[in-house]
């Protein structure tokens, strides 16, 4: 794949903040673009994301010229070149967002040049087989229907209240998710007024609640009313690193109550990003029936994953490409998780773009789940619609 040019421009993300879009053109005329999301709740160990103006400059003045007329055997060769060009472990020279934009654009151009779906090229690069999916032929949808923490201006300490449909197809999962989302909106408006339907960063409702448990109480009632109790599981992203005055004993007591009362099957970042031992204690006690997932704890970083595995901290991992900065390194993280027997949950970011790459990535690597926000707002809907397209057409 010989590259003719790589250029970049600033675009707006879903929070109205500047991010970057890169466009790559191959010598054979194939052209592809990729844009990079941004997180608000970020782990301290994430690769360095530079301001959009610096990223655009680095792509147009450094990366683009260095790639011009170069030919790469595969994705790994390109990503190795980009990382060597940066020369730092954290990608602080060029920016992880600059490297990821180039990396994903090249991958997408390669898929177009080969005339194969993007997810199929990802699967080929990852070595994942269809049998790795287990019982389902698709990732389960982790739908954030109530926003709190840094993603909203309400009084909830916890960041994401999730519904996780239990369905055989993506289409049915989306239908269940939409029904629950609409039903929740109606229930909140009736109980708290029309303003309760205002949205947070990821499209979930963001009113004030009586306490951190009330959202699940309402969700359970909605599921019962819609006769969907057997069609949905519940989960949450506590994002505990960002909870002020977080106390591990108090948090643990809350999680035990949530598991007992509402049957949670998934808890993400239940403790601070350096509290490997508290993660391990929770995992030891509940890990057989609850996915204890690390996001800020590991930041899609194999070194951090190795430590979490050694200490028995988790049984699931969040995978976010922009945390590590290239397609190849993201695939390395997925393979590491599979080696450890962990569930793989691919995730969007709170500051998203209309790029649907994570949908292809999750499907391609046989992820156990995909966090994609609520079924609202264009940047989230793009991921839903891409999954539906993959399921319907395989393209």
Active site residues: 202, 320
C-beta neighbour count of 153 within 10 angstroms? 12
Helix (H, G, I), strand (E, B) or coil at 169: coil
Residue 128 CA to residue 132 CA, distance in Å, equals 7
Helix (H, G, I), strand (E, B) or coil at 302: helix
First CA to last CA across the chain, in angstroms? 21
- Nearest alpha-carbon partner for 215 in 282, 144, 153, 265: 144
**Half-sphere exposure of 322 toward its Cβ, with a 13 Å CA cutoff?**
28
DSSP structure class, residue 63: I
- The answer to whether 334 and 366 are in contact (CB under 8 A) is no
Residue 179 CA to residue 9 CA, distance in Å, equals 38
C-beta neighbour count of 385 within 10 angstroms? 14
Residue 142 CA to residue 160 CA, distance in Å, equals 10
C-beta neighbour count of 322 within 10 angstroms? 28
Residue 78 CA to residue 243 CA, distance in Å, equals 39
- The answer to whether 274 and 303 are in contact (CB under 8 A) is no
Give the H or E element holding residue 330: helix 327-340
Per-residue CA distances from 185 to 191, 282, 330 (Å):
10, 32, 35
């Amino acid at each position: 794949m010989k590259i003719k040019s790589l250029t970049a421009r600033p675009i707006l993300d879903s929070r109205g903040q500047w991010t970057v879009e890169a466009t790559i053109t191959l010598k054979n005329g194939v052209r592809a673009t990729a844009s990079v999301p941004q997180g608000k709740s970020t782990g301290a160990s994430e690769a360095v994301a530079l301001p959009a103006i610096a990223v655009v400059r680095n792509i147009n003045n450094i990366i683009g010229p260095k790639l011009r007329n170069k030919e790469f055997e595969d994705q790994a060769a390109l990503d190795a070149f980009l990382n060597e060009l940066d020369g730092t472990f954290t990608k602080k020279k060029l920016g992880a967002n600059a490297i990821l934009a180039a990396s994903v654009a090249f991958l997408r151009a390669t898929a177009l040049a080969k005339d194969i779906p993007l997810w199929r090229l990802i699967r080929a690069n990852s070595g994942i087989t269809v049998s790795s999916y287990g019982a389902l032929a698709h990732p389960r949808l982790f739908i954030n229907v109530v926003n709190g923490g840094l993603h909203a201006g309400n009084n909830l300490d916890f960041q994401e209240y999730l519904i996780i449909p239990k369905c055989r197809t993506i289409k049915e999962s989306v239908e269940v998710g939409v029904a629950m989302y609409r039903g929740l909106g109606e229930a909140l408006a009736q109980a708290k007024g029309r303003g309760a339907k205002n949205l947070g960063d990821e499209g979930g409702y963001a009113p004030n609640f009586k306490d951190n448990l009330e959202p699940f109480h309402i969700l359970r009632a909605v599921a019962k009313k819609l006769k969907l109790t057997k069609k949905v599981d519940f989960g949450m992203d506590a994002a505990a690193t960002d909870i002020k005055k977080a106390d591990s004993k108090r948090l643990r007591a809350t999680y035990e109550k949530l598991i007992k009362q509402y049957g949670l099957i998934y808890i993400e970042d239940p403790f601070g990003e350096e509290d490997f031992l508290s993660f391990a204690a929770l995992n030891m006690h509940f890990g057989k029936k609850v996915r204890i997932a690390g996001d800020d704890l590991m930041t899609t970083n194999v070194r951090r994953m190795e430590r979490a595995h050694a200490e028995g901290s988790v049984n699931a991992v969040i995978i976010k490409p922009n945390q590590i900065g290239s397609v190849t390194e993201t695939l390395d993280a997925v393979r590491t998780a599979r080696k450890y027997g962990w569930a793989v949950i691919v995730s969007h970011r709170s500051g998203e773009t209309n790029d649907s790459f994570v949908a292809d990535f999750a499907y391609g690597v046989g992820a156990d789940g995909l966090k994609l926000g609520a079924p609202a707002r264009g940047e989230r809907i793009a991921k839903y619609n891409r999954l539906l397209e993959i399921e319907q057409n395989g393209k």
